[in-house]
């Protein structure tokens, strides 16, 4: 067999995609570039996997990570992700991260029925699946067109350094694989392996540091939840306080420890003056519930705040409209806090109106937090 080298250039990308996709879907092997190292791509089915095991000199039965074209494809293989995992996917993918996702028993059964035993058996092991979403145009284009799921472990025999150049791929596998896609200068820009992150019901754990450090994974997987009203002196601060207490109780820590454990709860106003304290009535109502707004200072919502937030809950529809006017791409992350309708502004009213408003916000926050955690 002669290993063909296809140079990824502007004029022949479509032809290369068609050639590689046809090869992979028919059970062949191809080395494709990613942003980390070259990967040996093959169809996720037993015969192709056995061939891959043989040329990598790897023991049979070990699983390889599924490679996907884009973050949205994860839901086809992992039906349920927790809030920190969703934050990591949104902020870190495509990128040099391999996710090892733990599935529930029911989700595993559903996946087996959906994908079939043959594909399921080569992708899932011990209740987990490894998933990689490369940040490389050639890899993404190829993966988006294949009919079958594709795995693509690093292009190296077991125990050897991963190939980061076409020549190194050929040194290892010339004559053993059908083709190599030469990704040019965009290929393997990181020159090292992806970071491997275990995602389970109890949290996130870095199994192997690679391009990204443990600290960087922690930052990317931090969940930022924002509550927004008009002046950020009553409704949204109350919602923030209720949410912080709910999260602390849920993950068994103190309120001032939730950020260390991966949750940032904030509040803003679309017309706020920075630095104003919470309204006297809001302070009084929450103090009676054992919560404090003494240190709260109002903050004007910015476009950067919108982009950083994983979820934004607003008190009224006009707040959502204002946010979307600032960032039209935020629509999938902005929701009414109370799904039944607007939470009216109690500003200028008495303590009883504030108390009723706080009760409604507390119930709505609890409902929303149950959906998230």
The rounded distance, in Å, linking the Cα atoms of 302 and 309 is 11
Boundary-marking domain end, from 189, 213, 237: 213
Shared domain for 209 and 306, answered yes or no, is no
Q: Under a CB-based contact definition with an 8 Å cutoff, are residues 276 and 298 in contact?
A: yes
Shared domain for 227 and 182, answered yes or no, is no
- Which residues are catalytically annotated? 229, 235, 345
The rounded distance, in Å, linking the Cα atoms of 31 and 35 is 13
Shared domain for 68 and 207, answered yes or no, is yes
Shared domain for 36 and 120, answered yes or no, is yes
> How many domains, in total, are found in the chain?
2
CATH number of the domain that 137 lies in?
3.90.870.10
**Structure pTM?**
0.88
Boundary-marking domain end, from 213, 233, 261: 213
Shared domain for 336 and 258, answered yes or no, is yes
Region for residue 182 given its phi and psi (left: phi exceeds 0; alpha: psi -120 to 50; beta: otherwise): beta
Q: Under a CB-based contact definition with an 8 Å cutoff, are residues 84 and 221 in contact?
A: yes
The rounded distance, in Å, linking the Cα atoms of 169 and 29 is 12
Shared domain for 129 and 20, answered yes or no, is yes
Shared domain for 265 and 166, answered yes or no, is no
Shared domain for 271 and 151, answered yes or no, is no
Q: Under a CB-based contact definition with an 8 Å cutoff, are residues 217 and 206 in contact?
A: yes
Domain span including residue 302:
222-372
Shared domain for 24 and 164, answered yes or no, is yes
For residue 331, count other CB atoms closer than 10 A to its CB. Answer: 11
The rounded distance, in Å, linking the Cα atoms of 93 and 67 is 12
Shared domain for 189 and 160, answered yes or no, is yes
Torsion 52-56-58-64 (CA) sign: negative
Q: Under a CB-based contact definition with an 8 Å cutoff, are residues 163 and 153 in contact?
A: no
Give pLDDT tens digits along the chain (373 positions): 899 999 999 999 999 999 999 999 999 999 999 999 999 999 999 999 999 999 999 877 789 999 999 999 999 999 999 999 999 999 999 999 999 999 999 999 999 999 999 999 999 999 999 999 999 999 999 999 999 999 999 999 999 999 999 999 999 999 999 999 999 988 999 999 999 999 987 789 999 999 999 999 999 999 999 999 999 999 999 999 999 999 999 999 999 999 999 999 999 999 999 999 999 999 999 999 999 999 999 999 999 999 999 999 999 999 999 999 999 999 999 999 999 999 999 999 999 999 999 999 999 999 999 999 8
Task: Tally the C-alpha atoms within 13 A of residue 202's C-alpha that lie toward its C-beta.
Answer: 1
Shared domain for 195 and 249, answered yes or no, is no
Boundary-marking domain end, from 194, 213, 232: 213
Burial label, 47 (beta-carbon count in 10 A; 0-12, 13-18, 19+): exposed
Shared domain for 8 and 111, answered yes or no, is yes
């Amino acid at each position: 067999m002669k290993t063909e080298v296809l140079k990824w250039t502007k004029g022949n990308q479509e032809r290369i995609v068609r050639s590689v996709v046809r090869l992979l879907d028919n059970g062949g092997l191809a080395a494709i570039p990613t942003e980390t190292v070259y990967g040996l791509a093959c169809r996720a089915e037993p015969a192709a996997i056995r061939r891959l095991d043989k040329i990598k000199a790897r023991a049979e039965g070990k699983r390889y990570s599924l490679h996907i074209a884009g973050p949205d494809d994860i839901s086809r293989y992992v039906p349920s992700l927790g809030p920190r995992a969703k934050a990591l996917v949104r902020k870190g993918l495509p990128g040099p991260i391999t996710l090892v996702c733990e599935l529930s028993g029911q989700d595993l059964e559903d996946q087996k029925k959906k994908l079939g035993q043959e594909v399921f058996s080569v992708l899932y092991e011990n209740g987990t699946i490894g998933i990689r979403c490369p940040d490389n145009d050639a890899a993404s284009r190829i993966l988006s067109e294949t009919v079958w799921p594709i795995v693509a472990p690093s292009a190296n025999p077991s125990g050897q350094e991963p190939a980061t150049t076409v020549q190194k791929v050929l040194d290892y596998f010339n004559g053993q694989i059908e083709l190599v896609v030469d990704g040019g200068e965009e290929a393997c820009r990181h020159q090292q392996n992806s970071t491997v992150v275990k995602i389970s019901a109890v949290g996130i754990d870095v199994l192997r540091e690679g391009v990204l450090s443990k600290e960087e994974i922690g930052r990317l997987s931090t969940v930022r939840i924002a509550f927004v009203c008009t002046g950020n002196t009553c409704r949204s601060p109350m919602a923030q306080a209720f949410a912080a207490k709910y999260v602390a109780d849920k993950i068994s820590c103190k309120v001032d420890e939730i950020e260390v454990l991966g949750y940032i709860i904030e509040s803003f106003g679309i017309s706020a003056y920075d630095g104003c304290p919470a309204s006297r009535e809001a302070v009084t109502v929450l103090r009676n519930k054992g919560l404090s707004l003494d240190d709260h200072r109002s903050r004007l919502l910015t476009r950067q705040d919108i982009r950083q937030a994983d979820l934004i809950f607003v008190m009224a529809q006009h707040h959502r409209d204002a946010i979307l006017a600032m960032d039209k791409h935020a629509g999938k992350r902005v929701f009414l806090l109370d799904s039944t309708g607007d939470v009216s502004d109690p500003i200028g009213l008495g303590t009883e109106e504030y108390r009723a408003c706080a009760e409604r916000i507390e119930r709505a926050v609890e409902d929303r937090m149950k959906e998230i955690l």
